[in-house]
Amino acid sequence: MSNRKLHFDTLQIHAGLDKHDKTGARGLAIYPTAAYRFKTCDYAASLFELSEPGNIYTRLQNPTTSAYEERVAALYDGAGALAVSSGMSAILITLTGLASAGCNIVASPFLYGGTYNQFRHTLRRLGIEVRIAPEPGPEAIGALIDADTRAVFVESMGNPTCAVPDLEDIGRVAAARKVPFVVDNTFGACGYLCNPFEWGANIVVDSATKWINGHGTAMGGVIVDGGNFDWTGFPGIDCPSEGYHGLNLHEAFGRQAFIVKCRVDGLRDLGTCPSAFDSYLMALGLETLSLRVRHEVESTRRLAEHLRGHRAVKRVSYVGFPDHPGHDNAQKYFRFGASAVLNVELQGSLESTVRFVEALELLAHMTMIGDSISVVTHPASTTHKQLSEADLAKAGVTPTLLRISLGLEDADDIIADFEQAFQKAGLV
Ligand SMILES: Cc1ncc(COP(=O)(O)O)c(C=O)c1O
């Protein structure tokens, strides 16, 4: 393919397809193999000492996964991508690749509940302190950075509140302190709605389980390296690597140093690789990403407008409305100024909310977003159940709050489903 710059809609189908195919097959080949035969002992040795790229073992690389990684890197216009087995694994490999015991990470307060738990429990047990800023502004984040800070971490749109931090200003604060800026861009739909690299991010993580896969058929995560951080002097990257006979990753791999480290240290040691079949599902999901997201964003806007002022509803928290605290930043950082998720606080009690959820016929009651089937989640009893009352309040989660992630059904049918469930729950 020539080097001309292709649009997102085109790249999501073509990127990564041809390079790994020798047959002309239209579909991406699935390589269900654990290991690869080495042509010679010298070749095997060169692979193991990282002097030549190539396949060693599927825990580290797989041709199906490589094609999918290239597609993701192309969509973000990044220096490289690494596919892993879940979004949580992408965060863990990224942050343990940057920080070790005695270091800290500074994070925004609007985070997915699972990420809070990883920060509060697992990273703490590993000796990595996560400092959650009292509010998501650049000043609050900057005030927590010190000489031991190894990353600033935010979600481009917080789950479930849809808060949107000021990526550009936070990126500036992180850059001024020479700290990598890591953005969980799950809501940014693999760069289609939001590409944090355009706003100063250095590393992006994405739960591929959501919009990338798009059909709820597999778990996955990706790490994308923007190739735009100067790793000079960075501990663990610009130094002799104990695991690779003193090889300096910064000198050997330049702008790809971090993503190589995630693969050759992170995946090698933590082992959370995707299966070839799951990588195939992700790459296939990507082919329709922008079409799905456009439909979902439009249906979400229609539902939000229908529910605003409805007598069964106390509050609609939709980032596309000017009264949402994330509205201005969403306008700046998100295509269409919105995502396909909205939060609805119902009138009534916890009990009537439960009746409502159980009466819905089309929306699936699950903890999921970005699926082709529309989803309703009750964060207080599911994703955020492990949080203390103080943390629930900080995350904006109340007993009658519902998170809605719209799928590909007709919006009129979804609105009708809400109406019949309001009736059954006694809310109208
Ligand atoms: C913003 C965000 N980051 C990370 C994750 C974790 O991803 P996974 O479920 O693929 O491990 C989720 C899951 O919902 C999420 O919403």
**Which residue, 6, 2, 11, is CA-closest to 75?**
11
**Residue 69 in contact with residue 19, Cβ under 8 Å?**
no
User: How many other CB atoms sit within 10 Å of the CB of residue 140?
Assistant: 17
Q: Is residue 409 part of a domain?
A: yes
Quote the pLDDT of residue 2. Answer: 63
Q: How many angstroms from the chain centroid is the CA of residue 296?
A: 18
| HSE toward the beta carbon, residue 7, CA cutoff 13 A | 4
- Rounded distance between C-alpha atoms, residue 338 and residue 333, angstroms: 9
Report if residue 38 sits inside a domain: yes
What is the DSSP secondary structure assignment for residue 235, as one 8-state letter?
T
Q: Please indicate, yes or no, whether residues 270 and 315 belong to a single structural domain of this protein.
A: no
Together in a domain, 221 and 253: yes
Domain residue limits at 186: 8-286
Residue whose C-alpha is closest to residue 359's, from 422, 428, 427? 422
**Nearest residue CA, atom 8 of ligand 1?**
87
Measured in Å, residue 211 CA sits from the centre of ligand 1 at 11
Q: What type of residue sits at position 161?
A: T
Asked if residue 73 and residue 38 are part of one domain, the reply reads yes
DSSP output for 81-139: EEEES-HHHHHHHHHHHH--TT-EEEE-S---HHHHHIIIIIIHHTT-EEEE-SSSSHH
| 319, 337 Cβ separation under 8 angstroms | yes
Mutational test site, ligand 1, from 85, 86, 88, max ligand atoms within 8 Å of CB: 88
User: Which phi and psi angles does 168 have, rounded to 5°?
Assistant: -65, -45
| C-alpha span between 282 and 304 (Å, rounded) | 29
Structure tokens at 147: 């000489």
Among 153, 207, 282, the mutation site with the greatest number of ligand 1 atoms within 8 A of its Cβ is 207
Residue where one domain finishes, among candidates 286, 309, 338: 286
Is residue 150 assigned to a domain?
A: yes
Alpha-carbon distance values, 7 to 76, 77, 293 (Å): 11, 11, 16
CA distance to 104, 114, 392, per residue, from 347 (Å): 41, 28, 19
Cis peptide before 160 (omega within 30 of 0): yes
Q: Are residues 324 and 241 in the same domain?
A: no
Distance CA 103, CA 41 (A): 40
Segment-wise mean pLDDT, segments of 10 residues, the chain, 428 residues = 83 87 88 97 94 95 97 98 98 98 96 92 98 95 98 93 94 98 98 98 98 98 98 97 91 97 97 98 98 98 98 97 96 97 94 95 96 94 78 78 97 98 97
Spell out which residues line ligand 1, taking CB within 6 angstroms: 86-88, 112, 114-115, 155, 159, 184, 186, 207, 209, 219, 221
- What pLDDT, on the 0 to 100 scale, is given for residue 392? 75
Residue 18 sits in the same domain as residue 58: yes
258 and 365 share a domain? no
Two structure tokens written together for 182: 């890591």
Q: Find tokens 């159940």 and name the residue.
A: 385
The enclosing domain of 110 has a CATH number of 3.40.640.10
385/274 same-domain check = no
pLDDT of residue 3: 59
CA of 213 relative to ligand 1 center, distance in Å:
13
Q: Which amino acid is at 396?
A: G
Q: In CATH, what number is assigned to the domain containing residue 395?
A: 3.90.1150.10
Which ranges of 190-275 would DSSP assign to H, the alpha helix?
249-253, 257-261, 268-270
* Residue that terminates a domain, selected from 242, 261, 286: 286
Among 234, 261, 286, where does a domain finish?
286
Q: What whole-number distance in Å separates Cα of residue 421 and Cα of residue 267?
A: 45
Residues 273 and 314 in one domain: no
Residue 224 CA, ligand 1 centroid: distance in Å:
15
Q: How many angstroms separate the CA atoms of 256 and 283, rounded?
A: 22
87 CA distance to ligand 1 centroid (A)?
A: 5
Please provide the size of the chain in residues. Answer: 428
Ligand 1 centre from 59 Cα, in Å?
21
- CA 88 – ligand 1 centroid, Å: 6
